[in-house]
Amino acid sequence: MNKNGILVVVSGFSGAGKGTLVRKLLEKYDNYSLSVSMTTRNKREGEEDGVSYFFVDHKKFEQTIIEDGLLEYASYCGNYYGTPKDYVKKQLAQGKDVILEIEVQGALQIKKKYPTTLLLFVTPPSGEELITRLRTRNTETEEDIMRRISRAAEEVDSISKYDYLVINDNIDECVDELHNIIASAHNAPIRQQDLIDRLKNELDILSKGE
Amino acid sequence: MNKNGILVVVSGFSGAGKGTLVRKLLEKYDNYSLSVSMTTRNKREGEEDGVSYFFVDHKKFEQTIIEDGLLEYASYCGNYYGTPKDYVKKQLAQGKDVILEIEVQGALQIKKKYPTTLLLFVTPPSGEELITRLRTRNTETEEDIMRRISRAAEEVDSISKYDYLVINDNIDECVDELHNIIASAHNAPIRQQDLIDRLKNELDILSKGE
């Protein structure tokens, strides 16, 4: 019997190291599959269709929205970005745990629609460490960094809606911690309804039939 | 900083192998402490006060009830059995995860009073396997066994109120699975309120102060 996979949403403050964590998780363990987003923006050099993104035109994207073919979607700077439902469903049916890196609002929307989704939130050990990491990577202006800190200060209020909060202090330890959490989550009753139904049925028969 | 432990309640069908699992968990890992019950029944040969039970008289037990000194208690065959709060609290404060083996009604009562309690339910892989185990241990009459099966058929409806459902098929694998689940449960936001409050405070200061 092939167990269904779990849809795992990873969110976290900008600068928490989500991207690296997800990449290492996929490298180290073979039960994961990364959700590939669909977008209408142009393909950049080095990007591959079906790997970086599924690249489609506006017509195809809007058709997919109408057909309810996306788990969630948003529009930025005139382009659409979304999560194709088909790809995720196929991977889940094959027993893969599908990782989806997405921000807080999208995560909560998915959880509402699909309550068995597992929501993980990643944070650095402290606010100081977060600002240090943002400054060290040297890719944003100080103004950008402060905007990200303000956003983090808002996002912190949504952490209690997540299933787990993980501190990314040591990257390798954190990868193993995420892996254990996802493995454990398979044991939540909400994801074991088939087993519970079967046990109920068997015990009913045994208690009446003998 | 010494992290507080978690109160872990282990329930399961009679014959699911809870006792062996809990014993092996305590043998293999050193972060656990077993909750010792208080009782008014007489000490039997080989039993030790403070290890098997805390043996007290009726007056002391009832005084403990009045002082709200028990997490839960029940009365069987004229004797009291209960879980002393002090012992559990002391162990939790020392960072130990305290294991409490208890039936469904008591478990749900404790969870209601202490929402950070972790509820684990243990089941054999099937109803057939449950009845086989009960017959193999050869300690109950067939009538007793059928009473236990009927009770299991009722208890199955409460599984969805537990945090995790674990199949005890291979005992050593199951012990490790329980250990991972308990380790993961430390990361639930409900058990990390101090961290969330600290992050909120730090991010608020950073986003306003600079």
pTM of the model: 0.89
pLDDT band at B194 (very low <50, low <70, confident <90, very high): very high
Residue spans per domain, chain A:
1-31+96-210, 36-94
- Work out the percent of chain A whose per-residue pLDDT is above 90: 75
pLDDT, position A35: 93
pLDDT, position A140: 82
Q: Are residues A199 and B162, on separate chains, in Cβ contact within 8 Å? A: no
B13 has pLDDT over 60: yes
pLDDT, position A126: 95
Out of A157, A161, A203, closest to residue B153 by CB: A203
A200 has pLDDT over 70: yes
Residue-wise pLDDT for A8-35, tens only, equals 999 999 888 898 999 999 999 999 999 9
**One-letter identity of residue B203:** L
Out of B128, B150, B184, closest to residue A181 by CB: B184
Q: Are residues B206 and A149, on separate chains, in Cβ contact within 8 Å? A: yes
Q: Which of A7, A5, A1, A4 is nearest to A113 (CA)?
A: A7
Instruction: Report CA A161 to chain centroid distance, whole Å.
Output: 14
User: Which residues of chain B make contact with A163, given a CB cutoff of 8 A?
Assistant: 188-189
pLDDT, position B95: 95
Q: Are A186 and B149 in contact (CB under 8 A)?
A: no
Residue-wise pLDDT for A161-194, tens only, equals 999 999 999 999 999 999 999 999 999 999 999 9
Q: Give the right CATH number for B34-94 from 3.30.365.10, 3.30.63.10, 3.30.470.10, 3.40.50.280.
A: 3.30.63.10
Section A116-132 average pLDDT: 95
Instruction: Report CA A14 to chain centroid distance, whole Å.
Output: 15
Q: Are residues B131 and A160, on separate chains, in Cβ contact within 8 Å? A: no
Q: What is the residue-averaged pLDDT of chain A?
A: 92
Residue-wise pLDDT for A28-57, tens only, equals 999 999 998 899 999 988 889 988 889 999
Cβ-Cβ contacts under 8 Å for B93 (sequence gap 6 or more):
B4, B5
CA distances in angstroms from A90 to A4, A13, A20, A84, A98, listed in the order given: 10, 30, 25, 11, 10
The residue of B21, B191, B207 whose CB has the most chain A CBs within 10 angstroms, and thus the best one to mutate to test that interface, is B207
* DSSP codes of every residue in chain B: ------EEEEEE-TTS-HHHHHHHHHHH-SSEEEPPPEE-SPPPTT--BTTTBEE--HHHHHHHHHTT-EEEEEEETTEEEEEEHHHHHHHHHTTPEEEEE--HHHHHHHHHH-TT-EEEEEE-SSHHHHHHHHHHTT-S-HHHHHHHHHHHHHHGGGGGGSSEEEE-SSHHHHHHHHHHHHHHHTTSGGG-HHHHHHHHHHHHHHHHH-
What's the rounded Cα separation, in Å, for the pair B113 and B7? 12
B2 has pLDDT over 70: no
SS3 of residue A116 by DSSP: coil
Residue-wise pLDDT for B48-65, tens only, equals 998 888 999 999 999 999
Q: Are B24 and B171 in contact (CB under 8 A)?
A: yes
Beta-sheet pairing, B7-12 with B97-101: parallel
Q: Which of B90, B79, B97, B86 is nearest to B41 (CA)?
A: B79
pLDDT band at B15 (very low <50, low <70, confident <90, very high): confident
φ and ψ of A175, to 5 deg = -60, -45
pLDDT, position B1: 42
Q: How far is B135 from chain A (nearest CA, A)?
A: 13
What's the rounded Cα separation, in Å, for the pair A198 and A203? 9
- B208 → chain A, closest CA residue: A150
B94, β-bridge pairs? none
**One-letter identity of residue A132:** T
- For the domain made up of B1-31+100-210, give the CATH fold: Rossmann fold (3.40.50)
Count residue pairs from A and B with Cβ separation < 8 A. Answer: 124
pLDDT, position A210: 52
Q: Are residues B180 and A177, on separate chains, in Cβ contact within 8 Å? A: no
pLDDT, position B6: 97
Residue appearing with tokens 């390798």: A172
What superfamily does domain A1-31+96-210 belong to in CATH? P-loop containing nucleotide triphosphate hydrolases (3.40.50.300)
Cβ-Cβ contacts under 8 Å for A50 (sequence gap 6 or more):
A36
Q: Are residues B203 and A152, on separate chains, in Cβ contact within 8 Å? A: yes
ipTM of the complex: 0.87
Considering only the top CATH level, what class is A36-94? alpha beta
A115 has pLDDT over 80: yes
pLDDT band at A102 (very low <50, low <70, confident <90, very high): confident
Residue appearing with tokens 């040591």: A170
Out of A131, A146, A184, closest to residue B184 by CB: A184
pLDDT, position A1: 41
Q: How far is A190 from chain B (nearest CA, A)?
A: 7
Section B178-194 average pLDDT: 96
Out of A123, A146, A199, closest to residue B156 by CB: A199
Q: Would A1-31+96-210 and A36-94 be classified into the same CATH topology?
A: no
Q: Are residues B153 and A207, on separate chains, in Cβ contact within 8 Å? A: yes
Region for residue B192 given its phi and psi (left: phi exceeds 0; alpha: psi -120 to 50; beta: otherwise): alpha
pLDDT, position B210: 52
